[in-house]
Structure 1
Amino acid sequence: MSKSSSVTKAFAAAFVVLTVSAIAGIVTMVILYNTQIATMNPTPRPTFPSTTTGLPPVMRLPKNLVPERYKVFLWPRFYSQIIEEVNVTSANQTWHFSGNTTVYFHCVQGTSSIYLHSQNLDVYGPVVASTDTDEGIRVTRMENHQDQTNFLEIELDYALKTGGNYSLFLAFRGELGYLDGMYSSLYKEGIPAHEDDTDTDRVLIATQMEPTSARKVFPCFDEPDFKAEFEVTIIHRRITTALANGINTDGANIIDDDWKATAFQPTPLMSTYLFAFTVSEFTPTRSSNHRVEINTYARPEATAAGHTKYAADITGRILNYFEGRFEINYPQRKLDQIALPDLISAGMENLGLITYREGALLYEEGVSSLLDKEDIAELIAHELAHQWFGNLVTMKWWNDIWLNEGFASYMTLYAVDAVEPDFKLKDVNILNNLHYAFEADALASSRPLSTSQGDVQTTSQILEMFDIITYYKGAAVLVMLADLVDQPVFDKAIRRYLSDWQYKNTDQNILWEYIQKADDESSGERNIAEVMNSWTKQIGYPVITINTTSGEAFQKHFLFNDSAVSSLSWHVPIRAMRYTTLFRLIWLKPGESAMKGEFVATKGEWILANVNCTGYYRVNYNPENWDRLITQLQKDPRRIPLMNRGQLVDDAFNLARAKLVNVTLALNLTRFIRNETELIPWAATISNLGYFVRMFDRSEVYGPMQMYLRNQVKGLYNSFSNYTANSTVPTDHSSQQIQIKAIDVACSNELPECIEMAQHMYADLMKINSTNNINPNLRSVIYCQAVAHGGKEEWEFAWDLYLRSSDVSEKDRLRRALSCTKKIWLLSRYLDYTLDPELIRMMEVTSSISDVSRNVAGQALAWNFIRAHWNYVGYWNAARLIEAVTGRFSTQFELKELERFAKDYDLGPASSAAYQAIEQTAVNIQWVSENKDVILEWFERETA
């Protein structure tokens, strides 16, 4: 944190010149910098910021001042090319920046104090003036509070007047961060950018502001409802290109032999977390669009090789889809996208400048898999959906971040389905969203989708909101809401909501008002707020139990922990069918049960509820109805809707985990899978048996379980044998995915012909100068299984390929394969490599350790490793890391270790994840003790 600052009038006057004459000020800054640099050593790479302790009494900015416009000058002092000297790395490099900002604001309530945010900045030179009278106002004190508020407090000689308009000028210096704020990214350029370049090491500058890092780049009102325009000028090396949210005004102004300045037009009103810029030597690929200039930037070699073509092609089509669906044009005439070597998330939706992790955006023919296209399309659709949900209409505070992320996840379902119908992803992703949310939301330590603002104050608390509940439960309840009011009614309400609240901030109550109005117009009889608040303001979800003999249905809070007491209930819309006949929509209200006779099954027919899985609830039945459903699945599964075939498996297994049905019922349900050829039922079965694997792969249950899975998957594996043997894939995307799952399950469960196939393909690859003839779709699973069933030679070959590969998707596949070995000493070596950012990039540390932890041979290693190196490995995505590493915990010893870990370590935004892991571990311990013998007996009987 910077200390309180004061400067002489001479310094203040000098920086006022910057606001009057941009170019003159820039030249002055360059001269000053060149003078300083001659007398100082380059700034070393910054260390990790320390964590402050103690909560201040007030965490939110006062609302007496409203920013309207920022004028920002930023000067990152870096070289885009690393020059190395003997025994000295980055000899010419610096890691700091400087700049100034003028914020123009309106006073809605008189005050003699200005509060805004500043973190890790050296701020100086405050100048306050009335823009109504041009009168200066003397600053008497300036202090940067050394607590979690990050408040920059400026005291004035006299009070600002209500209704007055003012400006505040501040100059500042700072150091580059680590994947947040303004940060550097080092990479190697395979093709020199310039003919006289001999060194391929490169550096670029990028930003990541969400949620609270804009204050690390310039002093600002860093809360989402302080929307303003941003007019930015970037000073940068002449060989680089600067991109920002706005449109480049007139090219770049040359300052001297080294520097130039690029100015950008003011942005539309937006929140500070969307502020973004990059400085790099990257080159663009232009997309065709009738109105918006779309450019996708990447390393020059990737652009030249056409690796941005798929992203460039699909972006315009998705943008057109959203403009048509929402009937609101994207709010700017340009949209830049950039594929960055380092980004903490897969993508960030900054207005006008969307940043992506390059491995998530680039597609290389013959190297990237066909399924990579699905991931690219989904990611771009998610970030483009944010241009409306989040950027155009923004939540008032982070407690309602689901209005951003839940809507983006929901809209992705439809956008990809519209522009790439062959992918057939909508139903798969609806179920994926549902199952991810169900898993996290079945714990008593879960949280509501929408919490009170008072519960989300600190940066750590804000970061905790970016979780499974926000993304996946948010999307799932929107699927349910759209089904409840009918899709056309929902879409009409959303169009009005976006139109009326563009460039403003909302909360979920405003959303309910728009849904209510549209529902009323279509003769709806529901209280939307009452219905939906039961899903968003409460934790968890219900299990609906239907008795098909009496016809009665009732609800109960579904929890894995059967000792937890809950009286929560919901407004539940039930869509059900009797054999082939759909019921009318039936409401199950809090405290009520369905009328007798409503769900009666006659003549041996079965009843199925939550048809097509639009409801956010699980369903249990009386034993007779379960038996009929199981019989139907074994006899003719296609009489049951495809999505429900997957959901029946998921419900049965999770009901068994919650001890609401016998575990043998869930296992009996899997018998039909032997003859199933569709992806959704297989994906649900593999996922749920994965819990059994995690609980029992260190016990005697595992042998018979492997034999059963081997028998079940053999037919599916053989159905793809001709494709696999020739290293080819089916044309249908769904079949491509199930082919991969079949290979994974077959090899993991020791099907001899599968292991032989994987080893043979990998052995061919290992031959000297051998061409990689493994189909890109199959490489991930082949690499993993070959390394798993190999030794040192196979592992080190994969490691060497990883180091030599320049394709990010290929590196990701190899990085995952390295975690598949059963050799503990190799896994230990791999974990040590994650501590060296030259070997494993920082953004990949979490996923690399998580991959090791999912390997039974590496779980204990990973657990010990993260505790020994928490200050490094827990810096980013700590919640995800804890969830992965504790996934197998099922003993009292592991529970005690986990409780000690949660108590002794500074977990920050991962605290909630740790307590959820403690609860889940306690549930696992009880479940294993009660079910192990029954499960062992079942698998032994099935494989006898």
Structure 2
Amino acid sequence: MGERCKVSWLYVLCVVLALVSVATIVTLWTIAITGGKGGDVTAPWDRDRLPGYLVPEFYNITLWPRLKPNPNSNLYIFTGWSAVQFECLEATDLILIHSNKLNYTEMKDEHFVSLTSEEGVSVPNIKSTWLQLQTQYLVIQLMGKLTPGQKYQLHAQFTGELADDLAGFYRSEYKEDGVTKIVATSQMHPTNARKTFPCFDEPAIKAVFHLTLIHPTGTIALSNGMEMETATITVDGETLLQTTFEATEKMSTYLLAIIVSDYAHLRVSGNQIGHWFHIRIWARKKAIKEGQGNYALNVTGPILDFFQAYYNISYPLRKSDQIALPDFYFGAMENWGLVTYRETNLLYDPETSSNSNKETTVTIIAHELAHMWFGNLVTLRWWNEVWLNEGFASYVSYLGADYAEPDWNVKDLIVLDDVQKVFAVDALVSSHPLTSKEDSINLPGQIMEQFDTISYSKISLSYLQDNNVSLPRQVDAIMNRWVRQMGFPVVTIDTSTGIVSQNHFLLVPESNVTVESPYKYEWMIPVRWMKDGATKDIWWLLEKKGLNVDMRTGPSWVLANINVTGYYRVNYDLGNWERLFSQFNTDHQVIPLINRAQLVDDAFNLASANYKYLLCLQIHIREQVLVHFTFIIHPNLRSAVYCSAVAAGGEAEWNFTWSQLQDATVASEANKLMLALACSNNTQLLERYLEFTLDPAKIRKQDATAVITAVANNRAGQNLTWQFVTKNWEHMFTEYGVGSFSFASLISGVTARFSTPQELQQLLDFEEEHKDAGFGSAALAVDQALERTQANIKWVQRNKQDVLQWFRSQTGN
């Protein structure tokens, strides 16, 4: 009995000592990774943000892309050598640097990298290196600590795949005169520089880049800086070219651009913008020969001149290159000194392109060139403030385009192209504020989600720039309500009582808003108004029912939000709506042009949201004027004609259009043909077309989402498209990635017409089926699709009998 007791006590003692040991180890570990400050016990390499104690000064990078596949693996690859010089701010024995999908050549002592410093300064040996895949770090553990204030250089050799994934350093393919050609190009934004070389890949961590490209003879190399020298070299018996570039400005990693191609260019050189300067437009040789780059070349100089004056800062570079790429995920990218575009957004052919194509070209060029200052010279600290970057560029793009084309009244398009577009999203409870907390946006998928309609198009227009406006409070007190809470108000004006009020506008008014706001969804609203065509003084609505204005008008009409300089909708009492519509019928030009678009859009959307005071919805059907077309169809009408022809035709017409698409050499013409193919009423042809989007040889990866969405917009293809997406979702999501499909656009486009309980259930089932894997950058789009479908169901239930009754009364059927 005593012996057994003795053993038990020894057992207990061992357990206690073990627990104490574990506790001690945990405590020491916590101190080691948190600096003794307590708090987060996550290992540094498992955190999503860099620790900040290493600051890069410059990178030396040499890249060699292979424009032919490797005979052994059949993969296109690139090899690289890099060195980054950084300063140590705090003593540390750990180096974290971003790296993703790179294979490293082991350096001395069998490590991925080597570390050097200035002569005479000791450098700690490397203990171990490894790749932390989840957080995309190359981790370097040292045997000793780096010295604060000392500068070091980290050297690496690596290999990456020059894949067709439209991210990082990638390849684009096209055919010219029957020959397949390869372009090595790049898209570093927002987190893909780490796919190209090891780097501190966060926007606030800027450095200077010294770049050298090795490339085949017969090709040209481009980067952010001007080419300094191109020399002929021999590597393993192969004759190659080596191009070195002047150092970049101090800039973020996401702005780096690297391109190797056999492109041609147009060029204007001279004292263009206040100093000796080169403007170049690069594209496929045939496109340049046909003059498709002329328009972009003509407007770039004036736009740069405008922004120099607007910002009162000279453009700091010696050149402005712009290049049209066959495969490109975004519409364009503002790489400093080398802006990349989809072909449809930079090239313009006066013979086949429409006026709309021309307007798109000039506004997108202005948007990207605006970033040369706001975004590139001055850069956001973190991706939670994307709206500052993109929203501002969207706004001033209209100013730059207006300067280049003063006769177009481009600024009038802000309401149609931006304000009304973002209203549709911001009226949902699944919307989001312009700004978010910095620590809530960490993962690449979360970062990509920030680049949505809200960030680009929710612009507080120009009311704060008017010197005649007397601000009732400090600017930040006004702006915080617009920036830090989602949504927007509807201002209701009752001209019979003079009461003016505001409410949070929701597509479904009874929706439960679960996101709390410190401002309780009240805004400080500048109300510009006119009475019978005469503009009145501005007044401010500060609370939900904060005004009682003498607006008893009698036979006169009142119109608020003149020229839509405020971000809100307006509703009126029934009498004022009737007087406004009466003015439309007698002399519509008394009402400003922009407000005519506003009134139509507000009326339909307020009716959709079931707001009182609106007339019952009336549908006016007027005889259409038949237009006779000759065989050479005007560019402005081609989209409609092509679509109608495919819809009315059969397989022969579809195949003919497909063959025309294959032969098209103008990007804007190809885009019209591509979208027209989705207009067919033949479900077998639509199914075939959907399958084409999984084959990059048939539909370019950049265009896959547009094709799928176009088929979904066709009533005959709506159900087919949803079945196709749900069947292939996992394959698309896991195998293709962000460079192939815009998943947020895919979800919102395919579900836009959902309006039945059955479709809602399908969407719920889809969400449940894939919730474990997640939706990446489409997570918010799924929430918005659910909410929009519920709103559509309620609208149909509420209005279908009235609409049906009206149609029967008009048709007698």
Query: Which TM-score bucket, shorter chain as reference?
Result: 0.7 to 0.9
- Equivalent residue for 2:685, pick from 818, 826, 833: 826
> Does residue 286 of structure 1 match 2:267?
yes
Distance 2:304 2:729 in 1: 41
1:663 touches 1:935 (CA, 8 Å); kept in 2?
Answer: no
Which residue is 1:174 aligned to? 160
Which residue is 1:620 aligned to? 571
Which residue is 1:788 aligned to? 647
Distance 1:309 1:547 in 2: 53
- 1:805-824 aligned within 5 A: 805-824=664-683
- Equivalent residue for 1:61, pick from 50, 71, 81: 50
Which residue is 2:483 aligned to? 536
Which residue is 1:883 aligned to? 748
- Equivalent residue for 1:575, pick from 525, 528, 536: 528
1:850-908 deviation line (CA, Å, top 9, x unaligned): 11000000000111111112245453211111111101111111111101112223421
Residue type at the aligned position of 1:378: T
Distance 2:306 2:744 in 1: 35
Distance 2:785 2:317 in 1: 44
Distance 2:373 2:73 in 1: 43
2:577 touches 2:614 (CA, 8 Å); kept in 1?
Answer: no
2:574 touches 2:615 (CA, 8 Å); kept in 1?
Answer: no
Distance 2:494 2:614 in 1: 19
> Does residue 547 of structure 1 match 2:457?
no
Q: Could you tell which deviates more after superposition, 359-368 or 95-104?
A: 359-368
> Does residue 409 of structure 1 match 2:394?
yes
2:500 touches 2:545 (CA, 8 Å); kept in 1?
Answer: no
- Equivalent residue for 2:187, pick from 191, 197, 208: 208
- Cα distance, 1:542 vs structure 2: 0.6
2:572 touches 2:613 (CA, 8 Å); kept in 1?
Answer: no
Distance 2:696 2:83 in 1: 37
1:361-415 deviation line (CA, Å, top 9, x unaligned): 2222322224321111111111111111111111100010111111111011111
- Cα distance, 1:287 vs structure 2: 2.5
Distance 2:224 2:749 in 1: 36
Distance 2:389 2:160 in 1: 30
> Does residue 302 of structure 1 match 2:287?
yes
Distance 1:930 1:56 in 2: 54
Q: Percent identity?
A: 42
Distance 1:539 1:533 in 2: 11
Residue type at the aligned position of 1:911: A
Classify 1:241/1:91 alpha carbon distance in 2 versus 1 (closer, same or farther; 3 Å). farther
Residue type at the aligned position of 2:749: A
Distance 1:90 1:439 in 2: 51
Which residue is 2:61 aligned to? 72
- Cα distance, 1:646 vs structure 2: 1.1
- Cα distance, 1:662 vs structure 2: 6.6
> Does residue 120 of structure 1 match 2:101?
yes
The residue matched to 2:679 in structure 1 has which SS?
coil
Which residue is 1:358 aligned to? 343
- Cα distance, 1:922 vs structure 2: 0.9
1:107 touches 1:163 (CA, 8 Å); kept in 2?
Answer: yes
- Equivalent residue for 2:800, pick from 932, 935, 940: 932
> Does residue 380 of structure 1 match 2:365?
yes
- 1:828-867 aligned within 5 A: 828-867=687-726
1:683-732 deviation line (CA, Å, top 9, x unaligned): xxxxxxxxxxxxxxxxxxxxxxxxx2xx2x62xx46xx4xxx3x5xxxxx
Q: TM-score, normalised by structure 1?
A: 0.76
User: What RMSD in Å do the two structures reach over aligned CA positions?
Assistant: 2.2
Residue type at the aligned position of 2:803: I
Distance 1:584 1:317 in 2: 36
- Cα distance, 1:826 vs structure 2: 1.5
- Equivalent residue for 1:775, pick from 616, 630, 634: 634
2:124 touches 2:145 (CA, 8 Å); kept in 1?
Answer: no
Which residue is 1:607 aligned to? 558
1:132 touches 1:165 (CA, 8 Å); kept in 2?
Answer: no
Classify 1:525/1:926 alpha carbon distance in 2 versus 1 (closer, same or farther; 3 Å). closer
1:78 touches 1:94 (CA, 8 Å); kept in 2?
Answer: no
Residue type at the aligned position of 1:223: E
- Cα distance, 1:831 vs structure 2: 1.2
Which residue is 2:29 aligned to? none
Classify 1:439/1:332 alpha carbon distance in 2 versus 1 (closer, same or farther; 3 Å). same
Classify 1:437/1:232 alpha carbon distance in 2 versus 1 (closer, same or farther; 3 Å). same
- Cα distance, 1:484 vs structure 2: 2.4
Distance 2:431 2:286 in 1: 46
- Cα distance, 1:523 vs structure 2: 7.7
2:643 touches 2:679 (CA, 8 Å); kept in 1?
Answer: yes
> Does residue 914 of structure 1 match 2:779?
no
Which residue is 1:33 aligned to? none
1:440-466 deviation line (CA, Å, top 9, x unaligned): 000000011111112211000000001
1:652 touches 1:661 (CA, 8 Å); kept in 2?
Answer: no
Distance 1:90 1:604 in 2: 83
Classify 1:896/1:132 alpha carbon distance in 2 versus 1 (closer, same or farther; 3 Å). farther
Distance 1:663 1:608 in 2: 15
Unaligned runs of 5+ in 2: 1-42, 108-112, 514-519
Residue type at the aligned position of 1:154: I
- Cα distance, 1:281 vs structure 2: 0.6
2:287 touches 2:666 (CA, 8 Å); kept in 1?
Answer: no
Distance 1:800 1:664 in 2: 49
The residue matched to 1:204 in structure 2 has which SS?
strand
- Cα distance, 1:661 vs structure 2: 2.9
1:599 touches 1:607 (CA, 8 Å); kept in 2?
Answer: no
- 1:551-700 aligned within 5 A: 551-565=498-512, 567-594=520-547, 596=548, 598-661=549-612, 664-665=615-616, 667-668=617-618
Residue type at the aligned position of 2:511: A
- Equivalent residue for 2:465, pick from 466, 471, 485: 485
1:327-376 deviation line (CA, Å, top 9, x unaligned): 11112001111111111112111011111112222222322224321111
Residue type at the aligned position of 2:155: F
The residue matched to 1:858 in structure 2 has which SS?
helix
Residue type at the aligned position of 1:582: T
The residue matched to 1:423 in structure 2 has which SS?
coil
Classify 1:417/1:564 alpha carbon distance in 2 versus 1 (closer, same or farther; 3 Å). same
Residue type at the aligned position of 2:141: E
Q: Could you tell which deviates more after superposition, 268-277 or 430-439?
A: 430-439
**How many residues are paired up?**
742
Which residue is 1:465 aligned to? 450
- Cα distance, 1:289 vs structure 2: 4.9
Classify 1:839/1:65 alpha carbon distance in 2 versus 1 (closer, same or farther; 3 Å). same
- Cα distance, 1:109 vs structure 2: 1.8
Residue type at the aligned position of 2:52: K
1:561-599 deviation line (CA, Å, top 9, x unaligned): 2222454111111111111222222111135511x2x25
Distance 1:365 1:92 in 2: 44
1:574 touches 1:587 (CA, 8 Å); kept in 2?
Answer: yes
> More helix by proportion, 1 or 2?
1
2:748 touches 2:785 (CA, 8 Å); kept in 1?
Answer: yes
1:544 touches 1:556 (CA, 8 Å); kept in 2?
Answer: yes
